[in-house]
Structure 1
Amino acid sequence: MAQHAKFTTGSTLRHVVVMTLTGSLGLSFMFLVDFLALFWISRLGREDLIAAVGFAATIQFFLVSISIGMMIAAVALVSRALGQGDPDRAQRIATSAMIYAVAVQGAIAVAVFMLREPLLRWSGAEGAVLDVAAHFLGITVISLPLTALAMSGGAVLRAAGEAWRAMMVTTTGGLVALVVDPILIVVMGLGVPGAAMAIVISRMAMACAGLYWVMGRGLLTRPALYDLRDMAAPFLAIALPAVATQVSTPFGNWVLIRAMSEHGESAVAGLGVAARLQILGFGGIFALSGAIGGIIGQNHGAGLGGRVRQSYLDALKFCAVYTAVIWALMLIFADPLARAFGLGGMAADVVHWFALIGAGSFMFTGALFVANAAFNNLGRPIWATMANWARDGGMMAPLAFGLGAVFAAPGVIAGQALANVLAGALAGWIGWRFVSRGVDRAAHPA
């Protein structure tokens, strides 16, 4: 295995920019699948279908976030092994991590398939919207193991510094969706079931691409039961809190959709479109934890505390510039995009207010995710869990419901923005104190 610790030399800012932008493109292409499905469904001219897919997407975001949490664990352990000059151990960790991810998501897929209607009811779906959402989720949930295979493969590539190949894993799915979405949804007239089938096909393409690249780069080894047993404890020590951290974001989104459902079906449709724009536009922010985890992990494994601190600062700079650019684009294009999705009235207002006040708060969301990357890769994953749940479990509900009661649907968006600002500022400050004072004493999990 001809892999070495690429991030321990050269400009840390360059590593942050390259890894985050490629991670962003890859993640954005993965979420482009959902965005395109929603766009083509909007061509059918029915806000109830948009709302139904929005409810189903909220559940799916929970499930994908579990894969992201396991991906973070894979990045942390593989990058640390490479930083310590032990590529053989990195191979064994990578192989075991991919097996864990597929097995866990397979079990979750079965459970969610059986419980999808109660889950959607708890999210606020009812009547015909509930039926459509349950049908959509019933088709897409079976592809969760494929998502896990694709994302864990991309994580291993990213930990080894294979930025472009990691990006190509999820880009493949987005390119496939570009072709199959309009064919299945519009040309063949399959509507919402066609959108669900397109997602399954695109995830299958991502899984094949991920497996092809990790095997081609010599990043895997023959699976062994003793490796699965020996790697389980260090993997779970990071994966469990990382998963708990990651599912807090979809929980926060679930709170938002429950708060928005108080203001009608049209408001939920608007939030569904705003959520897709949020994930697609701010892919660079959502990619930060995984993208810079390998940089922090390799330098920490090599004992280069100064480079860890500089990487943290460079990531915060990236957040500020990236958010400013995307916020400006949102302000310019949000209203035309709302019209392109056929939204009017309250639905269009929700998209407008997200662009006006919600988008800017992602500078602080980025600070939260940078801090999470430091905590996860420097032996304090529980801190990342606490930081995320402080926002999504502690602040989001009272702010979204409270401001929503005063200012209606725009108040829900304002509640999300305020929670982002408060939690992000606090986590970013704590994270900097940690890397500037305690990184050289941080724990080194086995």
Structure 2
Amino acid sequence: MHGSIMRHVITMAGMGAIGLMAVFAVDLLNYFYISYLHNPALTAAIAFSASINYVQIAISIGMTIGLGACTGRLIGARQHAKARRLGSAFIIVMVSLAGLVGITTAIFSRKILALLGAQGEALQNAVYFFSIISPALPLMCLGMALSALLRAVGDAKRAMRVTLTGAFVSATLDPIMIFLLHLGLEGAAISTVLARCAVVTSGFLNLKGHRMLEWPQKEDFIPSIKYIGRIALPAIATNLATPVGGLFVTHAMAQFGLNAVSGQATIDRIVPVAFALVFALTGSVGPIMAQNLGAHQFDRVKETLMAALKLTGLCVGITWLVLAAGQNIIVSLFNIHGEGVGIVKIFCSWLVMSYMFVGLLFVSNTAFNNLGHPFYSTGFNWGRATLGTIPFVWIGHYYGPIGVLVGQALGVVLFGTLAALTAFRVIKKLGPHSCNW
């Protein structure tokens, strides 16, 4: 709550970005390995199953946002004991809900995947892959929760270690499982589950010295759900919008064949690595805003938002130059053919710039969630996923798979801009009453 805001944002987001980049780089590497099995049905299977997995992750992230925002605000107000008590109880709620979601989606995965357009060999492989990773969703959710607590207390370095542990385990096991043991897609799924186990173990070990966990008392569950749920539930609704919109895009791409789906899947795995800093800002800036809000330092809240937006612009500009220059290498590395080639090239050349507005939306949503206006983020995200996706993509699909991508990009430009303008208006109105949510 003191010192340079920009330095604090860079430190928190930088550590988070390293961890996220490692995780998503492993996911990209995983996809790279599968692409070298030279079976479009396998790469398409990962793309289809990932669409559902993103929905699961969105639920976990939403609960994590609530946990991080509320514990961060309590820590900023010097109420460590309450933060520990409510946070510990809510983690049990998170893991239980994740278990329910994971098992339910695994049971109905075949019907869901078929609705997305998966069929034949791609459908069979997607169902098999998803049936292995989906029941392990509670492990992923718990790992996120432990990392969020580390960020809430300002320990970005240990939060990064937690994420890097999972990335290291996955990177080590993937080639062994896929190629050495000849398990293919099954090996990729098994390594994913084992990596989640490693993340949970690392999370407990790194959080040990901060005294942020205790065995929750029965009477703490309801207060934790009420207190943290006020942020977590809207955050879940907010985060669900993006993958739900993604489901519509996947369905639209499926109409153009497996090569188009594989091209889209390649983009979906390059983006998190390329924009790891932007995505890390959403998890790192939140606790900074929450702590300064709890300390009634409202000027520093605005300064935090400005710092995040500047870093977003810098990140997107650099990424655009790199991807535009390396588009042919990407096409060659991932064995992309047919419609997929044009999809990847148009994205790397021009559409990558739309992620400036994705960044505006994400950072603004973080501000809304941590400043007592979570329903704003819900509205903007669902606006982007519906009005900003469905009509644009529907019109675009008449012009082929590239039209689908262009339509998706145009929608996010509109809603990213509106969200950023609203975030500044919210911060301008901050006052002592803003902490009573």
* TM-score, length basis structure 2: 0.97
Q: 2:90 aligns with which of 92, 97, 111?
A: 97
Candidates 150, 165, 171, aligned match of 1:172:
165
Amino acid across the alignment from 2:3: G
Q: Which shifted more, 296-305 or 206-215?
A: 206-215
Alignment identity in percent? 35
| Structure 2 residue aligned with 1:297 | 290
Superposition map of 1:223-242 within 5 A: 223-242=216-235
Aligned partners of 2:372 and 2:275: how far apart in 1? 27
SS in 2 for 1:337: helix
Name the CA distance, whole Å, in 2 between partners of 1:73 and 1:358: 32
- In the alignment, the residues of structure 2 paired with residue 118 and residue 341 of structure 1 have an alpha-carbon distance, to the nearest angstrom, of 29
Alpha-carbon contact 1:358-1:416 (below 8 Å) kept: no
Task: Name the CA distance, whole Å, in 1 between partners of 2:360 and 2:436.
Answer: 24
What letter matches 1:14 in structure 2?
Answer: R
In 1: Cα distance, 2:90 partner to 2:276 partner: 24
| Partner residue, 2:353 | 360
Q: Supply the distance in 2 between the matched residues of 1:358 and 1:92 (Cα, whole angstroms).
A: 46
Amino acid across the alignment from 1:427: A
Q: Gaps spanning 5+ residues in structure 1: where? A: 1-7
Quote the residue 1:18 is aligned against. Answer: 11
Name the Cα RMSD after superposition: 1.3
Residue of structure 2 equivalent to 1:334: 327
Out of 408, 411, 414, the position equivalent to 1:416 is 408
- Other structure's SS at 1:161 match: coil
The structural deviation recorded for 1:374 is 1.1
CA apart distance, 1:394: 1.7
Q: Which residue of 2 aligns with 1:198?
A: 191
> Residue in 2 aligned with 1:4?
none
Following superposition, the deviation at residue 31 of structure 1 comes to 2.6
Q: Which residue matches 2:34?
A: 41
Deviations 1:131-165 (A, max 9, x none): 00000000111210100110000111011101011
Q: Please state if 1:257 is matched with 2:250.
A: yes
After TM superposition, list the pairs within 5 Å mapping 1:6-405 onto structure 2. 8-405=1-398
For residue 219 of structure 1, report the CA deviation from its aligned partner: 1.6
Equivalent residues of 1:62, 1:250 under 8 A apart: yes
**8 A contact 1:18–1:163 mirrored in 2:** yes
Provide the secondary structure at the position in 2 that maps to 1:247.
helix
Alpha-carbon separation, structure 2, partners of 1:431 and 1:83: 21
CA–CA separation in structure 2 for the residues paired with 1:295 and 1:272: 33
Q: Deviations over 1:207-237 (max 9, x none)?
A: 1111221223222122211111221101111
Describe the superposition over 1:72-110 as per-residue Cα deviations: whole angstroms up to 9, x where unpaired: 001111110011011111111221232122111011111
- Alignment-derived partner of residue 434 in structure 2: 442
Query: Unpaired runs of 5+ in structure 2?
Result: none
| 1:437 partner amino acid | K
Distance in 2 (CA, whole Å) between partners of 1:394 and 1:297 is: 31
Q: CA deviation at 1:443?
A: 5.0
User: Residue in 1 aligned with 2:418?
Assistant: 426
Aligned residues, how many? Answer: 437
State the 4+ residue runs in structure 1 displaced beyond 6 angstroms.
none
TM-score of the pair, normalised by structure 1: 0.95
Secondary structure of 1:287's aligned partner: helix
